Amino acid sequence: MWGSVLYGLLSSLFQTGCLTVETPDGRRKTFGDGTGEEVVVRITDPTLVRRIVVSPELGAGEGYMDGTLLVEGDRLREFLALAMRNMQSGQGRRNPWLASVDASRSALRRWRTYNPISRAKRNVAHHYDLSGELYDLFLDEDKQYSCAYFSEPAMSLAAAQAAKKQHVAKKLLLKPDMKVLDIGSGWGGLGLTLARDYGARVLGITLSEEQLAVARSRAKAEGLEDRVEFRLADYRDVSGEFDRIVSVGMFEHVGVPHYKDYFRRVRDLLAPDGVALIHTIGRSRPPGATSPWIEKYIFPGGNIPSLSEMVSATEKAGLWYTDVEIWRIHYAETLRHWFERFTANRDRVLDIYDERFFRMWQFYLAAAEMAFRHGRQAVFQLQLAKEQTAVPLTRSYMQTA
């Protein structure tokens, strides 16, 4: 029964490309219009068929993790690209079953992303307090775990991450000895750069104990402890006044119920003539729910905001939009680099964790890439201020060396 239901679902969903699926009962069927290279998927666990029907994203992700959904030829990226293209098509968005699954999750979105400080810390630990060696296997040397800026298509990952930091610094219009708050400071790379190369005095805050230890060690090694302080703190616990506030890749963890409070906190901490830059993954469509697989295994409590949600919250905080920039494809290229590096280091990953963990992170990195390459995800950079004249009236300042 469930095999027939699955085949019916796939027939309605896959209108383009060429996907062949083999179920545990030996049945084999091809979907799509036959264009492009065939992608072959084999399902070996009879219970997985039902689980994919009930929740396609969760079922497929768990099947790949467990090795019961096999993609021939190690063509995971191609399979996910094909699935994403069809899910984003008009036919995919109109599929009544997929629409009902998404609607039920969207109805619970505020509850699922309710993140008081104690819960926010647990959510951060789930992802960021993994072995530090794991991140060394796929990130650049500066441990930048956010979208790189490929100002030139052929740039290396390290060069593109350096370009991202330079781009952020230009938007902050830094002057020596300015006080900067870095919300979600990670392993310290951005804060150290702003102090070392631009003369800023930085307070970096994180809820990850592993990241905090690394960031403090780096500051000490570089002799920058007099200019950079890293602290285990939530943005709701910070006091004082800052000339600049920057947050790169943290807003995704704030949670829908807290958007207004977040931007009010930015307003309250910002000096009268201050500038803030919020860099986040964004949804180029109306608000919606996080993938159930991503929420369960990768980023519990997380949410990808739509621009309309962010604009509404900043309006209520009384902040000026002084610049809004949308990065397209940059994160897809970043994730491609990460996926290739991670996969090349499979043996070292298995020394730290196990095969299931390796496949889980493969699926995460590949699925995320395809969400940016073929889905409706992008990166938003919102530059904000209390005064409309806090930033030059043209973007010419962005062109300076």
Type of residue at 31: F
Looking at the fold, whether 301 and 184 belong to one and the same domain comes out as: yes
Looking at the fold, whether 187 and 130 belong to one and the same domain comes out as: yes
Choosing from 107, 126, 144, the residue where a domain stops is 107
Looking at the fold, whether 143 and 253 belong to one and the same domain comes out as: yes
Looking at the fold, whether 239 and 316 belong to one and the same domain comes out as: yes
Alpha carbon of 160 to those of 164, 195, 275, 282, 298: distances in Å?
6, 20, 24, 20, 25
Residue with the larger pLDDT of the pair 343 and 119: 343
pLDDT of residue 92: 53
Element (H, E) at 30: strand 28-31
Choosing from 78, 107, 136, the residue where a domain stops is 107
Element (H, E) at 378: strand 377-385
CATH at 121: 3.40.50.150
Looking at the fold, whether 73 and 185 belong to one and the same domain comes out as: no
- CB environment 238-268: b (16+ within 10 A), e (fewer): beeebbbbbbbbbbbbbbbebbeebbbbbbe
Looking at the fold, whether 101 and 146 belong to one and the same domain comes out as: no
Q: Which residue has the tokens 């119920």?
A: 257
Lowest mean pLDDT among 22-36, 80-94, 97-111: 97-111
Q: Which residue has the tokens 């409706």?
A: 376
- How far apart CA 76 and CA 205 sit, in angstroms, is 36
Mean of pLDDT over the chain = 93
Looking at the fold, whether 102 and 139 belong to one and the same domain comes out as: no
Type of residue at 317: A
Neighbour count for residue 317 (Cβ, 10 Å): 19
Contact 140, 161 (CB under 8 A): yes
pLDDT of residue 400: 64
pLDDT of residue 90: 61
Q: What is the pLDDT averaged over residues 55-61?
A: 94
Domain containing residue 95: 2-107
Residues 194-230: pLDDT tens digits?
Answer: 999 999 999 999 999 999 999 999 999 999 999 999 9
Backbone angles phi, psi at 164, to 5 degrees: -60, -50
How many structural domains does the chain have? Answer: 2
Neighbour count for residue 107 (Cβ, 10 Å): 11
- How far apart CA 339 and CA 336 sit, in angstroms, is 5
3-state secondary structure of 92: helix
Q: What is the pLDDT averaged over residues 238-261?
A: 96
Contact 295, 332 (CB under 8 A): no
Looking at the fold, whether 90 and 234 belong to one and the same domain comes out as: no
- Residue (of 184, 143, 187) closest to 162 by Cα position: 143
Looking at the fold, whether 189 and 213 belong to one and the same domain comes out as: yes
Q: What is the pLDDT averaged over residues 348-376?
A: 96
Looking at the fold, whether 253 and 337 belong to one and the same domain comes out as: yes
Backbone angles phi, psi at 317, to 5 degrees: -80, -10
For 298-302, the CB contacts below 8 A with 24+ separation are 298/127, 298/364, 299/123, 299/126, 299/127, 299/252, 299/253, 300/122, 300/123, 300/126, 301/112, 301/113, 301/114, 301/115, 301/119, 301/120, 301/123, 301/253, 301/255, 302/113, 302/123, 302/252, 302/253, 302/255
pLDDT of residue 401: 52
Looking at the fold, whether 77 and 118 belong to one and the same domain comes out as: no
Q: What is the pLDDT averaged over residues 249-273?
A: 96
Choosing from 107, 141, 176, the residue where a domain stops is 107
pTM: 0.95
What sign does the dihedral 66-69-70-76 (CA atoms) show? negative
Residues 114-161: pLDDT tens digits?
Answer: 888 888 989 898 898 888 899 999 999 999 999 999 999 899 999 999
